[in-house]
Amino acid sequence: MLGLSGKRVWGGLNLGKFCRGLSRFDKIVVSDEVRGALSENKPVVALESTIITHGMPFPQNVKCALEVEEVVRSQGAIPATVAIIEGRVRVGLDENETRRLGDVERSRPIKTSRRDLAYVVSQGRNGGTTVSGTMLVAAHVGIPVFATGGIGGVHRGGESTLDVSADLTELGRSSVAVVSSGVKSILDVPRTLEYLETQGVFVAAFAGGKDFPAFYSRKSGCQAPYAVQTAQEAAEIIHCNRRLNLRSGMLFAVPVPEKYAMKEEVINGVIEEALEEAGRRGVGGKEITPFLLGRIGEITAGKSLETNIALIKNNAETAACIAVELAKLNTGGPSESARDEVNDAPAPVVIGGSNLDCSVKLQVEEIKLDGRIHFGKSLMTGGGVARNICESLSKLGCRHVFISVIGNDPQGNILKNFIPQDNLERVKVLEDRNTGQCTVVLDRNGECKFLAGDMEIHQHITPEMILEHEQVIAKSPLIVFDANLSIPTIETILKLANHHNIPVLFEPTDFEVSVKPFQTEHWGAIKFITPNVHELRHIAEHFGVLPKRKYDNRVQEVVAVASKLVEFVDTIIVTLGVDGVIVARKGAATESLLSQNGGDLQIRQYVGDRSTKVVSVSGAGDNLASGIIAGMLDGLSEEESVSVGLCAAEYTIGAPGPVPPKLFGKNHPAWRTKAAYRTLM
């Protein structure tokens, strides 16, 4: 569609920081019950553990936690209490683990939010996860609904102290629906609602009017932006939020049952008394909330604790009902939706060719095309641009979906060994078709000199095959495809991308086929291209913007061509071999490549480490693209994403095949490095 400036935009969705946090984390244990429920698309409700560690005295804390889990089960959902036990994040506790954690004199737990997580895990400590800590974990493992008592917020006097709970910022970035009795009464409710609005968090009062509850009491004097009446309605909103990839949390505020509600004037007086005492004692930071809740309990002779328990159970029941309705809406079935829900990281969809490659690196000084034998060393590997990108993404730790075809022949059986096992589900095996094969001839310096291939099978990635996978494509934050596909198939992909508002990255693959998608009606869905210089020229010629003059060097030429072509494609990433990569776009290097903020055109050249000994350059561009894709989907800036891409390319040129045997995980410095660049425009 057209923005106000006439520039094509793709929906204005904030697709920035998706894969951070626990996507790099290897100390998480999901119970068999919870894992099985998620894999079978059964309803699951996340529960926090500060209710056990910091909310109530032992053993009442354990009794309440177990009763809350039973409430969830009674509505047909599976409870998933989140906690840290001896440095391992646990999702789903058994009764013995709950009891051991609840005996706080022995377990000595730390109240754990996002800020505290690394310390608690690294020190092998026990931790009770707060709302923000629980949301972080729930989002990672794919639990969409979370029940708690009340969330944190802006503390009274927060305009001076800047004391704002991490719960609010986590709600702004974790795709989890939180069911709570509003915010704790000890907080500044109006300012908390304002802060949630700033964070883009959907807030609704549940099962009544728009009165926003205040934990102990049913009304806070504030109005929620929306009112939701039923679990089914809430589930439909959550389902839509997730399909739109908004990547922000939602808050459903459920008033405490009237039988247990406290009068506003009574509880407000008690809170003021507790606040004054906290001030006298110098209590602050993360200790203020448990202190106030404990003191309020003492002043009210246990009445507030009774209310607290009642509202937690009521919220758990409501959350379970919502989770049950939400599970009904996830109609993809276990084989499709469970995989996407269990790991909530985004899954780019990669579509294109899979080949069995035989590369021959010649040992002779000069290649003669006169029929003689050129002696060299051969290597059989997986190939095909799309397949290369998939293997590289897997080795970079970026989850994705792969759509391709192979033949039911010996070559196809060999090729399966070069396709990551997680990607084989949507690779179709065709009878009576040759698996794609390519012979790559490299000179003694590793430069590609000649290719010969049997690629006819790629034409059998048909429009019908693409439409079969529409449901998984619709959930993707990015579609990547190569030019091995037929024009009707490319048309279908681009049409789906436009319909579902998904940006597309096109890898031109080869000079001759680099303009294929631009011959279709829906080419405007393409937001990224990754051509080499020859492919860049061909695409520019297609659009009639190829300059006629000659340039002193190819960098000058790329700047001239890209500055014209960027009016048709938002982001142009040109691979230059030893000269690195040039990025042309209307955006700063410090911004995500997925952001479309407009502004003036900027062109930057990034040059990687030239010290790596070149074994083969085959596949270097594919690995560069994979690194950039993985980085931008991880929420990195342009300069950080290019750092990952250049590092992946450097690993590649030092290896014999198109994808090196091993790349690097997200603990590698490349993920935290800003690649150096020079500004060309």
Strands 226-228 vs 355-362: parallel, antiparallel or unpaired: unpaired
Q: Judging by beta carbons within 10 Å of its beta carbon (0-12, 13-18, 19+), is residue 625 exposed, middle or buried?
A: buried
**621 contacts 575 by C-beta, under 8 angstroms:** yes
Non-local CB neighbours of 120 within 8 Å, separated by 6+ positions: 84, 87, 110, 112, 126, 127
* Alpha-carbon gap, residue 414 to 144, rounded angstroms: 40
Note whether residue 270 is domain-resident. yes
| Same-domain check for residues 306 and 424 | no
Question: What's the confidence (pLDDT) of residue 593?
Answer: 92
Note whether residue 8 is domain-resident. no
What separation in angstroms does the CA of 69 have from each of 92, 135, 373, 412?
A: 10, 17, 73, 49
* Alpha-carbon gap, residue 467 to 353, rounded angstroms: 17
Question: What's the confidence (pLDDT) of residue 572?
Answer: 96
Task: Of 207, 186, 187, give the one whose Cα is nearest residue 195.
Answer: 187
**577 contacts 556 by C-beta, under 8 angstroms:** no
Structure tokens at 486: 């037929």
CATH of the domain at 603: 3.40.1190.20
Question: What's the confidence (pLDDT) of residue 161?
Answer: 63
| Residues marked as catalytic | 48, 184
Strand blocks (E) in 167-316: 177-180, 202-206, 226-228, 250-253
* Alpha-carbon gap, residue 651 to 661, rounded angstroms: 9
**353 contacts 436 by C-beta, under 8 angstroms:** yes
| Same-domain check for residues 160 and 252 | yes
* Alpha-carbon gap, residue 532 to 562, rounded angstroms: 12
Question: Residue 619 has what DSSP assignment?
Answer: T
| Same-domain check for residues 325 and 371 | no
| Same-domain check for residues 414 and 313 | no
Distance of CA 252 to the CA centre of its chain: 23
Of 339, 358, 376, the residue at which a domain comes to its end is 339
Note whether residue 376 is domain-resident. yes
Of 318, 339, 360, the residue at which a domain comes to its end is 339
| Same-domain check for residues 312 and 367 | no
Note whether residue 229 is domain-resident. yes
Task: Of 609, 659, 601, 667, give the one whose Cα is nearest residue 634.
Answer: 667
Of 273, 308, 339, the residue at which a domain comes to its end is 339
Low-confidence ranges of the chain (pLDDT < 50): 1-26, 331-345
| Same-domain check for residues 369 and 429 | yes
* Alpha-carbon gap, residue 66 to 104, rounded angstroms: 16
Instruction: Domain of residue 257: give its range.
Output: 21-339
Task: Of 189, 74, 174, 187, give the one whose Cα is nearest residue 129.
Answer: 174
- Amino acid found at 251: L
| Same-domain check for residues 157 and 106 | yes
| Same-domain check for residues 399 and 286 | no
Distance of CA 166 to the CA centre of its chain: 20
* Alpha-carbon gap, residue 120 to 114, rounded angstroms: 10
| Same-domain check for residues 307 and 350 | no
Helix (H, G, I), strand (E, B) or coil at 528: strand
* Alpha-carbon gap, residue 270 to 297, rounded angstroms: 9
Note whether residue 2 is domain-resident. no
Domain count, the chain: 2
- The phi, psi pair for 62, rounded to 5°, reads -65, -45
311-355 confidence digits (pLDDT tens): 999 999 999 999 999 988 874 333 333 334 434 445 899 999 998
| Same-domain check for residues 290 and 428 | no
Question: What's the confidence (pLDDT) of residue 3?
Answer: 30
* Alpha-carbon gap, residue 462 to 482, rounded angstroms: 14
Would you report the helix, strand and coil content of the chain in percent, each value rounded to 5?
A: 45, 20, 35
CATH of the domain at 314: 3.40.1790.10
349-401 confidence digits (pLDDT tens): 999 999 898 878 888 778 888 888 888 888 888 888 999 999 999 989 888 99
Note whether residue 398 is domain-resident. yes
* Alpha-carbon gap, residue 615 to 591, rounded angstroms: 34
| Same-domain check for residues 279 and 377 | no
Instruction: Annotate 552-561 with b (16+ C-beta within 10 A) or e (fewer).
Output: eebbebbbbb
Model-wide pTM > 0.75 = no
| Same-domain check for residues 515 and 664 | yes
Non-local CB neighbours of 194 within 8 Å, separated by 6+ positions: none
* Alpha-carbon gap, residue 215 to 550, rounded angstroms: 72
**415 contacts 355 by C-beta, under 8 angstroms:** yes
Note whether residue 646 is domain-resident. yes
Note whether residue 502 is domain-resident. yes
Angle between helices 95-102 and 60-74 (to 10 degrees): 150
